[in-house]
Structure 1
Amino acid sequence: GTKAIRTARLRANHFNLSFNPESIIMHYDVDVKPEHPAKNGRPVKISKSELSAIRNKLFSDDPSKFPLLSTAYDGEKNIFSAVPLPTGSFKVEIPEEEGTRFSSYIFTIKLAKELQLRKLKEYLSGQLLDIPRNILQSMDLVMKENPARRMIAVGRNFYPTESDPNDDLGYGVAAFRGFQHSLKLTSQGPTLCLDYSVLAFHKRMLVTEFLQEQIRGFTLNNFKRFRREVEDVLKGLKVTVTHRKTKQTYVIMGLTDKNAGEITFDAVDIDGQSPPRKVRLPDYFRDKYREIQYKNIPCLDLGKNGKRNDTPMEFCVLVEGQRYPKEYLGKEAAIMLKNISLPSPRDRQNMISNMVRSNDGPSGGGIIQNFGFEVNQNMTPVTGRVIVPPELKLGASDGKVIKVTVDGEK
């Protein structure tokens, strides 16, 4: 395996990253709690999406003190900043359309450590023996900040919010071309390693349109015939609503027993001055939002924790970023997804390079530049070797050893 027939010029999906050794990354600890504790006294677990919304609101309220483009947030307990941030506790009021569980939070931030990038330079030059892992972790998070804000995160991978029209797999599903990336230390210094990734997702679309694509022969006029299939394909999917301004998402629990035009509910007077009264769902939507067009089909049951939330299907949109199991794809769609996932080397190189240069990618948005980082937009050239085909020794049935040379063309 040491004899080479010839060498080959290759390009690795590594992009060299330069940094300013004089820079300092400020590491802050973050703690977020509702302003008013829960009635049961138990601690409240706040989701990553809520924490991001709270952070964004605080920073947008006072951008001169909290510059969003100079910070990276892990969505939990850590913020890394290229500039000093105010410390202390801050009240953050969240508008209703953000969909958080509480309207006001206390955001506490305190300085944990100053990370001096000169230590990374000292390690690379051999002056420092231990790898400065906390610096590398902070730099890695900074590299992920821009795609985390602009793209759909699935594990360590990022995917665009919209697919290429040519990547439609049918049945309300499409292939989304994304990437995964990480920061690695090489002999040339820190390097951004980015690779191509493809997943099948439900497309963001109206639920009524999705049903027409997903279920063969489906029509709203003959809904009763397809009710069981509709419930099977929709149950568990996440939707948002269009009749009011909100970013909140809901999980489809099923379908209502009655059609939209037949549903009634008890309207409670918030002030308590009038007794509850029966209200027809169509009247409620017409008076408060807009007319329901399809009254002869069920609503989606979006209720949670025992609370009713019957929402007309026409006002519900599938949320982006919901994976579609590839084993559910038809034969043609599965082949198409496989072909998209395995492009030719030249196409793969072009797509990876475009992702690095993209405004949604790790070096887009101006964030890493604020930290003093710069990514070389070209892949790293390396020299490969084509080695001599190996000679295999095979045992024959009579005990003799046969030498076989592998065909180099195969």
Structure 2
Amino acid sequence: DDFPLFLVDSAVPKLERLQISDNLATSSCSLEKKDKTSPIRRPDNGGTLAVLTRTLRVNHFPVKFNPDSIIFHYNVNVKSKFSSKVGQPRKLSNADLSVIREKLFSDDPERFPLDMTAHDGAKNIFSAVQLPEETITVEISEGEDEKITLYSVTLTLLNKLRLCKLMDYLCGHSFSLPRDILQGMDVVIKENSNRCTISVGRYFYPTNPPLVMKELRPGIIAVGGYHHSLKPTSQGLSLCVDYSVVPFRKQMSVLDFLHERIDNFNVGEFEKFRKYVEEVLIGLKVSVTHRKSQQKYSIVGLTPTATRYVTFPIDYVKGWKLEKEVSLLSFFNDKYDKDIVYKDIPCLDLGKGNKKNYVPMEFCVVAEGQRYPKERLDGVSAKTLEAMALAHPSERQGAIQKMVQSSDGPCG
């Protein structure tokens, strides 16, 4: 369970202990003639004949791999077609590309085995098996009653990454670092963490269960996570794992969030707190509970009137042939069999552009994985976060070991 022990060169107090061979110039010259791009070797076996050794506990873990293996590197070209309903092609985000890739692979797992591939979140897929090079149409629905969008996905083989080249470099038989292989392996080793944790930049934050979690203030939590990368060393390939702590907004119902974030908040006196509610909520992302949907919506505002008075044009109700204006109360009752409890508070406006999307607050949940700015923490919360980030070495070691052993981690 302990960290692996690495040998680290220490400073040699007496330089005269170094013995430089007399035929250094000859060997260097012959090496230069043989390959002008090769670096000159250090004398004295790289300075190892006069080395003092010390053992250190480090956050590097040895990585074993099969040098006979091949990783197939594919380019993924995704183009949005016209929606099956009204809509125009739009620029795809990395999150969109990940959803499309997972749908493609889940639709045809025999030809596209998800567990044998890794995606960098953009246009690159690395696979342990060969994949079909063809154009396939993928249908994506953002949720129940949402529009279906068609995408054409084309896979093109770019390269075959032979791991024997990396082994040659690690063994000293080659002086050129195969960066393309290292980058491909790095994507592969991050695939599990990408699927199972909250990804923020280069860091991953497990929440189910959390690695480390502590409440900083009402509605705000500090979550421990990790960053890992592959490093070629003189002792072989290593996985470097480091520790990080970041404040997040807590995943909870919007109404509970308001009770935690606003002092003395009272639903019965909502208009008294409207200004504070808008300051706390606008810009946050939420998910909805009244229907099946994986989509996250940004809060753009509140309705000016209470929920019981909210109506919208029939154009926004797909397929309905009723009166010109539809009551939100009757719509949720008839369409989703939901009886709205809090009728005297505003709805959230989750629309985009000119399109309105009114949803009662009781059916909205603060989405997971939303960072809270550190500069907005009060003094006590900031000190708590700092203490978690600057953990004692033994605590840091325990956290890193837990990350590596976790099913959500790089080795899961």
Output the TM-score relative to the length of structure 2.
Answer: 0.82
Contact (CA 8 Å) 1:178, 1:198: kept in 2 or not?
yes
Of residues 250, 253, 264, the one that matches 2:300 is: 253
What SS does structure 1 have at the residue aligned with 2:242? Answer: strand
Which residue of 2 is the match for residue 307 of structure 1?
Answer: 355
Q: How does 1:230-249 map to 2 (within 5 A)?
A: 230-249=277-296
212, 215, 240: which one aligns with 1:193: 240
Measured after TM superposition, the shift of residue 152 of structure 1 is: 0.9
Q: Which amino acid aligns with 2:176?
A: D
Alignment root-mean-square deviation, CA: 2.5
Please, which moves more after superposition, 59-68 or 226-235?
59-68
Q: 1:210 aligns with which of 257, 274, 277?
A: 257
- Which is worse superposed, 283-292 or 95-104? 95-104
1:42–1:316 CA distance, 2 compared to 1 (3 A): closer
Q: Displacement, 1:104?
A: 1.9
Unaligned 5+ residue runs, structure 2? 1-10, 15-51
Residue of 333, 337, 344 corresponding to 1:296: 344
The match for 2:43 is none
Match of 2:364 in 1: 316
* Cα drift, residue 27 of structure 1: 0.5
In the TM superposition, what whole-angstrom CA distance separates every residue of 1:271-316 from its partner, at most 9, and x where no partner exists?
Answer: 69x5751111111111112011101111111111110111111111
User: Alignment partner for residue 265 of structure 1, among 312, 316, 323?
Assistant: 312
Count of matched residue positions in the alignment of Structure 1 and Structure 2: 362
Superposition pairs for residues 36-55 of structure 1, below 5 Å? 36=82, 44-55=90-101
CA distance in 2 between counterparts of 1:196 and 1:32 reads 35
Q: Which residue of 2 aligns with 1:125?
A: 171
Q: Which residue of 1 aligns with 2:377?
A: 329
Match of 2:75 among 8, 29, 33: 29
- Contact 2:80-2:151 within 8 A present in 1 as well: yes
Structure 1 SS opposite 2:216: strand
Contact kept, 8 Å, 2:84 with 2:147, in 1: the verdict is no
Asked if residue 143 in structure 1 is aligned to residue 189 in structure 2, the reply is: yes
Q: Which residue of 2 aligns with 1:367?
A: none
Corresponding letter in the other structure for 1:104: L
Indicate yes or no: 2:411 matched with 1:363: yes
Residue 303 of structure 2 aligns to a residue in which SS? strand
* Aligned mates of 2:144, 2:206 — CA distance in 1: 21
Q: Which amino acid aligns with 1:212?
A: H
- What letter is aligned with 1:299? C
Q: 1:156 to 1:11 in 2, by over 3 A?
A: same
Unaligned runs of 5+ in 1: 365-410
Output the TM-score relative to the length of structure 1: 0.83
Amino acid at match of 1:337: L
8 Å contact 1:99–1:248 — kept in the other structure? Answer: no
Residue 106 of structure 1: aligned partner:
152
Question: Which residue in the other structure is 2:104 paired with?
Answer: 58
Shift, 1:330, TM fit: 2.5
Per the TM alignment, residue 72 of structure 1 is displaced from its structure 2 partner at its CA by 0.5
Q: Distance in 2 between matches of 1:28 and 1:74?
A: 11
Tell me: higher relative CO, structure 1 or 2? Use CA pairs within 8 A at least 6 residues apart.
Answer: 1
Q: Is the 8 A contact 2:170 2:237 kept in 1?
A: no
> Is the Cα contact below 8 Å between 1:29 and 1:79 reproduced in 2?
yes
Distance in 2 (CA, whole Å) between partners of 1:12 and 1:264 is 62
Q: Percent identity?
A: 51
Does the CA contact (< 8 Å) of 2:79 and 2:152 recur in 1? yes
Asked whether the equivalents of residues 174 and 203 of structure 1 are also in contact (C-alpha less than 8 Å), the reply is: yes
Please tell me whether the aligned partners of residues 99 and 247 of structure 1 are also in contact (alpha carbons under 8 angstroms): no
Say if 2:211 and 2:403, in contact at 8 Å, map to a contact too: no
Q: CA separation in 1, counterparts of 2:212 and 2:240?
A: 28
Question: 1:282 maps to which residue?
Answer: 329
Match of 2:399 in 1: 351
Say which of 182, 193, 196 aligns to 2:229. 182
